[in-house]
Structure 1
Amino acid sequence: MESKIYSRPRFCTTGKGYKNMPRNNRRYTAISIITIIVIAVITFVIITRAVNPIINDLCIDKAKNIATQISNDEATLIMNQYSYDDLITIVRDSNGNVKMLQTNTKNVNKIISDIPLNIINKFQEKNTSDIFIYLGSALGLKLFSAQGPKIHIKIANVGNVDTKLVSEFTSQGINQTLHRVYLNLSCEVTILTPYNTIKQMIENQVLIAESVIVGTVPDAYYDINLQK
């Protein structure tokens, strides 16, 4: 009896790949892949253009909030060392009427020098890696406002802090005037995001002194800017 060795059918593995597909099918597959890639790129560009302005605004708002908090804290820290009388002297005539308001130039100059310097130092000390916004906030929906991946931003290159002192007088009744002295602060900061670099001017106004003046304040007085 003739023995038979077991064997299995042999399959040809050549000719079944992409190269051996019918030409029409290969063309259709290539066009489909290219179409998908083009659609994906266009979709990404459209979404990026739509979301980027929102992300930029959120980053600017975040930077402004941080700058405002720092400037308020540093101004308060400095102004705890001074009182209204350390900055302003009320000069009266022989009858006790208010003649002028005189500025203590030495103290005022020190304040407008120390506060900006402290603000810049505080920015440099602050760990800006902890500053972020949620990507979900860019959708504009409250439901997703604190959802999604974190977008980390960094505040860098804080420029010179420009200062300007401003006086405000408000009537508080008969022969009483509330005098407030504000320090206007402005500086340009560079905000670094994963998608953009933003230069933004940040401004803030902090109250540094106030007092109620008893007596009529004349129309011609020397204000905090030493202007008549």
Structure 2
Amino acid sequence: MFKRRKPHRKVLAVFLLLLLASGLFVFVDRRVRPTLFSIAEVEVTQMAVDAINKTVQKEVSRKNIDYQDFITVHRDYNGRVALMQANTVQINRMAADITLNVQQRLRDLQGKQISIPFGQVLGSYILADMGPYIRVGIHPMGTVSVNVIDRFEQAGINQTRHKVYLDFTTMVRVVVPLYSAEVKIATKVPVAESIIVGDVPEAVINFPGGILGVDGLK
């Protein structure tokens, strides 16, 4: 005759299985998930910044944007810089057009996924390129905002470099297994610059400092 298994053994097996599953969940939640999200955040940020930079460079090259399109330098009778005046309308138009193209480029990232080796999540140099691979989803969202800023830099003896930047800010949702969170993407991209010989004013007249926003990433 066959011996019947004792009921308490089944209960013990179920209990050990649940304990193992709970331990695995705690390990993933406390150790793996934060590391995975940190890696995913770096990868997604790099992709978004690269998309923004390439879009701005393409638009600047396509429209042949030059420093003189935005800033007019007025000199006195001695040839010294007396006034630097910004073309606010032209600068804002350029910023708005480029921001629309950046928005479209970021929208193209919607639904794309990146794969991260599990060995990299564990922090192992030996297993860094080994799977299984964990897929991470990218979802651009919210508003693309751009702030037009400028900066004066010392470029040599009696020379100053004046740069005009577009300062972009947007949000991207990163989706990893069992977790998702928003990541702020911020980057500054130069669009025009010039070398000014001699003393320059401390500020540019009429230079726009406001933030332009373009909705529609959701």
Secondary structure of 1:131's match? strand
- The two structures have a TM-score, normalised by structure 1, of 0.82
- Residue type matched to 1:39 in 2? L
**Equivalent residue for 2:35?**
54
Give the 5 Å matches for 1:49-128: 49=29, 50-80=31-61, 81=63, 82-126=65-109, 128=111
Q: 65-74 or 136-145: which moved more? A: 136-145
The two structures, once aligned, show a CA RMSD in angstroms of 2.1
- Percent of pairs with identical residues: 27
Confirm or deny: 8 A CA contact 1:98 1:217 kept in the other structure: yes
The structure showing larger relative contact order (alpha-carbon pairs under 8 Å, at least 6 residues apart) is: 2
More helix by share: 1
**Equivalent residue for 2:216?**
none
CA distance change for structure 1 residues 17 and 204 in 2, over 3 Å: closer, same or farther?
farther
More strand by share: 2
- Residue type matched to 1:148 in 2? G
Equivalences, count: 207
* Structure 1 moving runs of 4+ over 6 Å: none
Show structure 2 runs of 5+ residues with no match: 211-218
Give the 5 Å matches for 1:78-227: 78-80=59-61, 81=63, 82-126=65-109, 128-219=111-202, 221-222=204-205, 224-225=207-208
Secondary structure of 2:143's match? coil
Confirm or deny: 8 A CA contact 1:181 1:224 kept in the other structure: no
Confirm or deny: 8 A CA contact 1:101 1:222 kept in the other structure: yes
- The two structures have a TM-score, normalised by structure 2, of 0.86
Structure (1 or 2) with the larger CA radius of gyration: 1
